Chain A
Amino acid sequence: MSVTRRDFLIASTCVATAGAFPVVHSMEVDGKRYTMVHDEKACIGCTACMDACREVNAVPEGVSRLNIIRSEPNGTYPDVTYQFFRQSCQHCDVPPCVAVCPSGASFRDPDTGIVDVDPDKCVGCQYCIAACPYQVRYIDPVTQAADKCDFCRKTNLAQGKLPACVESCPTNALIFGDLNDPDSEVSQVIATSKTYRTKVELGTDPHLYRIAAPTGGNRS
């Protein structure tokens, strides 16, 4: 059934995409607004989060939903520091990936603010991959559909747990929760810490906040 529908969508969008992209996203937030903070001051670059994500979400080898990018070393041995940068979906409130998707596969869940992909609707056109300013999308080699971090919406969140990366982090460098709830830890951290987000000037309103490590980086 789903394969048939997918095949149909692939055939029909080949024609439809010749025109303007339908704008299908909604910016209204009815319920929760799931948000993540990556505290670069606390991160030690162990990549436990990357491994946990791959395992819990059965992400195939060769692609990844999450990367921790390590800076070049600062200083000389033994006085060396590094900085670590989290690369993953920012769950934009104004997501270009959703705006360009011709089949409605890419969507923003209004109840949670999570941006996700319905693999059954994805036609593999890769417009979303090109449109995402954060370069976090890929084609899953198994499903042949676009994929990326979904805040573990279909795995850990569905089971009432925290996202796998958050659960696995040994230094509590990842904080996750509902930004619509002013009492949540994530709201508190954002309210009381100096945070930054990347590429806000594009108007994407990303929901991955970062606490910058001191200039020159971390000491593990």
Chain B
Amino acid sequence: MNKRIYFSSIAFLATVLRIALAVLALSWVSSQAAAAGQTIDPENCIGCHEETPVLGVHSGTLFGATNRVATCADCHGWVTDLGQHETDGADMVRFDSAAAVLEPLTLTPLSLGVSTIATQNQTCLQCHSGKTLGALHWTHDAHGFELACSTCHQLHPKNDPVRGLSNASTIKLCVDCHSAQTRNGEGVRP
């Protein structure tokens, strides 16, 4: 009986120690971030951006590079200058399908505050491999250059609209975009 209490107190102490170490490690990560000029704790983002919580599949997911739950900054980047950020949203990776439309036209999508397709997709490719994506659905392969992932996927709402689409709706998605291209004379046979 006494032996059991003895062992459970050891286990309790070990847990306390582990938590303490984790807190230390976390504050070390934050101080490293601050040392690199990254002054905003990503958990603070929601203070201003409360209307856009992440409710989809990425909510609570582990971010491979840090092995902790993904934060806003892991995908959107760190804010180095809060004043500038509050004025024009500087330093952010923005996920917006507009890039797919703007980039071929202007080659300078950043002028409208939208990150390039490459910048957006590089963020996703930190965790998702092109090979896995291609195996999930071949259209990932086919649009790797031309479309931002965000053209089809949305991670903030609870449900990503393209997940679980019926076959007919998937075809409609292809048809809607590509017939518009054909009408605009962008296809091989307009």
Contact = CB atoms under 8 A, between A and B. Distances in A.
Interface string A39-50: 101101111100
B178 A77 contact: no
A70 interface: yes
A12 interface: no
B121 A78 contact: yes
A188 interface: no
Interface in B140-168: 140-146, 167-168
Contacts of B190: 172
Interface residues of A, number: 25
Contacts of B130: 76-78
Most buried by A among B145, B189, B190: B189
Interface of A: prevailing SS: loop
B141 A77 contact: yes
A77 B134 contact: yes
Interface in B113-140: 121, 129-131, 133-134, 138-140
A44 B175 CA distance: 10
Given A70-B138, A77-B141, A172 B187 contact: yes
Given A47-B171, A51-B168, A39 B178 contact: no
Contact of A42 (B131, B134, B167, B189): B189
B171 A48 contact: yes
Contacts, number: 79
Contact of B182 (A168, A172, A219): A172
Contact of B179 (A51, A170, A219, A220): A170
Contact of B143 (A76, A168, A220): A220
Given A39-B189, A44-B174, A47-B171, A77 B144 contact: yes
Contacts of B168: 51
Contacts of B188: 39, 41-42, 171, 173
17 contacts: A44-B174, A44-B178, A45-B142, A51-B168, A70-B138, A76-B131, A77-B130, A77-B133, A77-B140, A77-B144, A81-B142, A82-B142, A170-B179, A171-B179, A172-B182, A173-B189, A219-B145
Interface of B: 121, 129-131, 133-134, 138-146, 167-168, 171, 174-176, 178-179, 181-182, 187-190
Interface of A: 39, 41-42, 44-48, 51, 70, 73, 76-82, 168, 170-173, 219-220
